[in-house]
Amino acid sequence: DTAVSQTPKYLVTQMGNDKSIKCEQNLGHDTMYWYKQDSKKFLKIMFSYNNKELIINETVPNRFSPKSPDKAHLNLHINSLELGDSAVYFCASSQDRGVGTGELFFGEGSRLTVL
């Protein structure tokens, strides 16, 4: 069973379109994250949710809107896609804050290409 799964794995779309990436974790974790990895392989945090509540919101364009329907799911919707949004987006989860080692469990990534 995949611990953190995200779909789709690949996404190719035109500029200006709207797209969504879905993420689910079956680890029972309370905290989920979206990270963006650009062409230079630098992983940058975008958002974090703890028990459906937004706790980290980095300086990300408001075209990006996360949504957590329950603590096992965290989706990312992107409006009006731009060329610079092309990257690999990783979903991750961790134990509740303050508990355990805080290690992150990552999904396999969703590679977004904007043409």
Partner 1 sequence: SQKIEQNSEALNIQEGKTATLTCNYTNYSPAYLQWYRQDPGRGPVFLLLIRENEKEKRKERLKVTFDTTLKQSLFHITASQPADSATYLCALRPDSWGKLQFGAGTQVVVTP
Q: Summarize as ranges the residues that interact with partner 1 (CB under 8 A).
A: 4, 35, 40-45, 48, 56, 90, 92, 97-99, 101-109
| Partners of 59 in the β-ladder | none
Residue 16 CB, nearest distance to partner 1 (Å)? 28
Distance from first CA to last CA of the chain, Å, rounded?
34
By beta-carbon proximity to partner 1, the closer residue of 62 and 101 is 101
Residue 53 CB, nearest distance to partner 1 (Å)? 14
Residue 24 CB, nearest distance to partner 1 (Å)? 14
By beta-carbon proximity to partner 1, the closer residue of 41 and 69 is 41
By beta-carbon proximity to partner 1, the closer residue of 8 and 102 is 102
By beta-carbon proximity to partner 1, the closer residue of 17 and 42 is 42
For CA atoms 115, 13, 41, 64, the dihedral sign is positive
- Three-state SS string over 11-73 comes to EEECCCCCEEEEEEECCCCCEEEEEEECCCCCEEEEEEEECCEEEEECCCCCCEEEEEEECCE
